[in-house]
Amino acid sequence: MTQVNPARHHSEGLAGLLLSLLMAAAFVGSFFGIDFVLGRSVFWQTEVRDVTQYVAGFNFYFTAPWQSPWLAFNALNYPEGTLATFVDAIPLYALLLKLAAPDHWAPFNPYGVWVALCFALQATGAWWLAKELKTRSWAFLMALVLLLLSFPALLDRIGHISLMSHWLLLFALALYLRSRNSSEWPLLAWTLLCLGAFYINIYLFVMVGCVWVSAMLNASQHSMAKRAKALALPALCVMATAWMALWPLPSGKPTPEFGFGYYAMNLLSPWVGGHILPAANGLGLNPIAGFTYVGGPGHYEGFNYLGLGVLLLLSLGAWRMVKSAMHHKALIALMLMFAAYALSDHVMLGQKIAFEFKYPEALLPLTSQFRASGRFFWLVGYALLIFSLYHCHQMFPKRHFAGLVVLVCGLQWVDLQGVYQGLSFRLNRQDAPVMDAAKWDEALGTNTRIVYAYPKFKCGKDPQNALLPLMKYTSERHLKLNTGYIARYTPDCQDMKLEIAQSNPANSAYVLSGDALAANFKLDSIFPSTWQVDCKPIDFAQVCRATSLKASP
């Protein structure tokens, strides 16, 4: 007879993993639905949201010919081009699809599948953490999966798809525990995780990388030589692949971005904001797309409410967590550093300034690149949730712990009703169409290959209601666009006349956004005097074609 391996059937084995994935599938099916996953729900149909940039940017990259570096393409910001990184197309995912998916799929939207995959990996991370913590408890595993799938800061990121990859943080914490518990350093796992995070989202990469460093500093059982190798190999792999995938960067002048101190976390954010004990109006309640944030307008980037169930776990396990902190000095120092950075240099308590200070000028590149500092509390929030649940599991007998997790999950469910309603609002929000595609098709004709749009990104007033719809339209018709909603790049705003003069009117169209151009702007001031130009107003713009060349006198 075949013997059954009992390890496969306890919570740390295959059965535990399968249960975690089933819970993730049920969660995605209940909250998102199959149409969302397949990329065809109303959430994806918008022409004016951030997701428009991601889907359009992906299709520009997917349909472009291969070039060096691998993530480069010139269909946006034509002819200089840009990188998939700078349109938030999730570079690793976009690269794999470009390698594996058939060309005839284009244009298509792969990001519903990515969101579903993120929740599956979130549940996998919960299972891995339970395995590394050696709890061998079904109640612990199920509670951890439920709490991590419904983590408020994760559900809040639905509009920013790459930032939904919170599973990277869970994997990093699981590897941290393995690095402490194992006699062998998991070098390959750390290298793959750092590489993946680097090509998914730079914020998450920094958080993962810092956990990796803290794990190395805490791993006193390993020799200095092994720890130096553990530090060097992932860094070398990231740099080596960057030469093939990213460098040289496109031409253009990166500029400091506004936001540090504005997109911060309020001191009250982790503790206040649930349905059971709602925040007082005097604390500054800002409703944005169904969610309500405590503090100032920019504090939505610092939304980090933990939920009343998790707060109960923290109150019960706080003393044991403090006592165990001495065994994790580097990780605790990292958490304190991230919490402080999340608050930024304008520390707010509700609507009042608690205190202010200035970061050194030398740190301007850091605070400009990572201007949405409130995001850095995510790792802290996850650590508080995971380890408070773990210490409560250690404190209580099995039956009492099972009753506790039922209470905690019930409290969390009721208390996060506002978060679930906000998620539902965003998923079902419908934006009015901006472009009449049939009219644009008629105006551009069959010969147009390049669209020159003015003003360019960052040169006018309203890229969201003009440029984003145009990006979506041109990506779906395999056209090139001379600008684009591109991160970390400032174009030349004064080259309109020269750029048009150097273009080929036989295969080009010129789109001039009426709302964003100066009131005294004249069409004949930008086209060469030898061109005969025909313009017609469509939707938000004048769409111009050079129908013929005037005879020279």
Amino acid residing at 15: A
The ranges assigned to domains in the chain are: 179-246, 281-428, 437-549
Neighbours of 323 (CB within 10 A): 10
Cβ burial of 277 (10 Å; 0-12, 13-18, 19+) is exposed
Amino acid residing at 241: T
Express each pLDDT in 232-243 by its tens digit. Answer: 888 899 999 998
Confidence at residue 552, expressed as pLDDT on a 0 to 100 scale? 45
Express each pLDDT in 104-131 by its tens digit. Answer: 999 999 999 999 999 999 999 999 999 9
462: pLDDT confidence band, cut at 50, 70 and 90? low
Q: What is the average per-residue pLDDT within 37-55?
A: 96
Residue 254, CA distances (Å) to 368, 489, 490, 491, 526 in order: 11, 5, 6, 9, 27
Mean pLDDT value across the chain: 91
pLDDT higher than threshold 80 for residue 222: no
Confidence at residue 283, expressed as pLDDT on a 0 to 100 scale? 86
Alpha-carbon gap, residue 498 to 480, rounded angstroms: 18
pLDDT higher than threshold 80 for residue 538: yes
361: pLDDT confidence band, cut at 50, 70 and 90? confident
Could you give the maximum distance between any two Cα atoms of the chain, in Å?
A: 99
Confidence at residue 183, expressed as pLDDT on a 0 to 100 scale? 77
CB 421 within 8 A of CB 479: no
Residue with tokens 């551009």: 444
Q: What is the average per-residue pLDDT within 505-519?
A: 83
Q: What is the average per-residue pLDDT within 306-329?
A: 95
Higher pLDDT, 174 or 184: 174
517: pLDDT confidence band, cut at 50, 70 and 90? low
Express each pLDDT in 406-425 by its tens digit. Answer: 999 999 999 999 999 999 99
pLDDT higher than threshold 80 for residue 188: yes
Confidence at residue 256, expressed as pLDDT on a 0 to 100 scale? 62
pLDDT higher than threshold 70 for residue 9: no
Confidence at residue 36, expressed as pLDDT on a 0 to 100 scale? 98
Confidence at residue 2, expressed as pLDDT on a 0 to 100 scale? 47
pLDDT higher than threshold 50 for residue 553: no
Between 185-194, 196-205, 463-472, 516-525, the lowest mean confidence (pLDDT) is in 516-525
CB 356 within 8 A of CB 326: no
Residue 280, CA distances (Å) to 43, 152, 156, 274 in order: 31, 20, 21, 11
519: pLDDT confidence band, cut at 50, 70 and 90? low
pLDDT higher than threshold 70 for residue 515: no
Confidence at residue 444, expressed as pLDDT on a 0 to 100 scale? 96
Express each pLDDT in 467-505 by its tens digit. Answer: 999 999 999 999 999 999 998 778 888 889 999 999 999
Higher pLDDT, 441 or 525: 441
List of residues 6+ apart from 216 with CB closer than 8 A = 179, 227, 230, 231
Confidence at residue 1, expressed as pLDDT on a 0 to 100 scale? 45
